[in-house]
A and B are shown apart, each in its own frame.
Chain A
């Protein structure tokens, strides 16, 4: 069974740092992308960042709102993905989800990265 379990959330002061972890099980982590999406209280979904698979050189992408402050990394040997969050702002307060991305398709129909399994999320609160 595919599972993603986030941890590491909590209360942090503005300007502080936090590292979220995402423990993956039930699949081969290196074969998949991992995205991070957040949801502020009562608000919609916001894409945060992506870690591509081993076949795609583990390359990363970030939303403009977090670029330069957040970094995603992974340790496939530990079946874990991390989101290091620095210089946190009050507007970073949200539930953070890690999500498995599966690359599917072909040359003719195009390749699609399907966000098929979501973790339960971990709450990050940035407040003084």
Chain B
């Protein structure tokens, strides 16, 4: 099975910072990758699919890029409400594995 590895596992950044989270697949998955945001105590929410397509209603400060095995989620200007754990998920073929998550905090 394809493994999904996120880095870092946690990070702390200041409001206004540009934040980048990386997700690496153990084998190529073309662009079959999604990103989710889970705020504390809340249900996960889809941010991005097809590696770079922003889900409707998601702020434009979020963006995704990558193809094959290496992907990134970028928050252009970090806001206090972005405190959350972020997960990538590959969905080309089953099992549709999630990364282990990246916990983002505000400095």
Contacts and interface: CB of A to CB of B under 8 A. Distances in A.
Interface of A: 35, 37, 44-47, 50, 61-64, 97, 105, 109-110, 112-116, 118-121
11 contacts: A37-B44, A37-B98, A44-B100, A47-B98, A61-B95, A109-B50, A110-B30, A112-B49, A114-B55, A115-B36, A121-B43
Contacts of B94: 50, 61-63
A121 B44 CA distance: 10
Interface residues of B, number: 26
Nearest to B87: A45
Contacts, number: 60
A112 B32 contact: yes
Contact of B46 (A62, A114, A120): A114
Given A47-B95, A47-B97, A115-B34, A105 B50 contact: yes
Given A44-B101, A47-B97, A61-B94, A114 B87 contact: no
